[in-house]
């Protein structure tokens, strides 16, 4: 089984909804993430620079969902995945987003999985090491 990092129960605020009135103000969105990563470098070094930083992952999702409005949960989920997959250490990612209480107490959930296509930016720690080798 591949290594995974899961962040469960993220509570986000987003302007999302098919109707313009729904997008007028931020609403609660619940989300869970599963990131397919190789945890061996971080486990070996015990150094955050070698790990996918959980706080940075959450901050990325918060920035993405608060930075614009979305008509669909599918679009919101895709925007989060695209931002997260800029870190090429993340091989693939699955996100589940929910809009609680929308359907008379029922909660719609969208689940999307995307793979990293290898065109992503270097992780910050790897950039630092590359620059250090040049000097």
pLDDT tens readout for residues 61-88: 999 999 999 999 999 999 999 999 999 9
pLDDT tens readout for residues 33-64: 999 999 999 999 999 999 999 999 999 999 99
Q: Which residues of 104-119 are buried (b: 16+ CB within 10 A; e: fewer)?
A: eeeeeebebebebeee
Domain ranges in the chain?
A: 4-134
Active-site residue list: 99
Q: Which CATH architecture has domain 4-134?
A: 2-Layer Sandwich (3.30)
Q: Is the model more confident about 11 or about 22?
A: 11
Give the pTM.
0.83
So what's the pLDDT on residue 103? 84
So what's the pLDDT on residue 2? 82
Tell me what the pLDDT averaged over the chain comes to. 89
Q: How many residues does the chain have?
A: 135
| Residues 6 or more apart in contact with residue 45 via CB below 8 angstroms | none
């Amino acid at each position: 089984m591949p290594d995974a990092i899961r962040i469960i129960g993220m509570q986000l605020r987003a302007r999302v909804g098919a109707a313009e009135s729904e997008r007028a103000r931020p609403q609660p969105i619940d989300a869970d993430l599963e990131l397919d990563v190789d945890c061996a470098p971080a486990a070996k070094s015990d150094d955050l620079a070698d790990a996918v930083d959980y706080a940075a992952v959450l901050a990325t999702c918060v920035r993405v969902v608060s930075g614009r409005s979305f008509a669909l949960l599918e679009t919101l989920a895709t925007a989060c995945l695209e931002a997260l997959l800029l870190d090429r250490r993340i091989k693939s990612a699955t996100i589940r987003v929910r809009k609680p209480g929308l359907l008379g107490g029922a909660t719609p959930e969208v689940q999307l999985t995307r793979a990293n296509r290898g065109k992503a930016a270097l992780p910050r720690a790897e950039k630092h090491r590359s620059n250090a080798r040049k000097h």
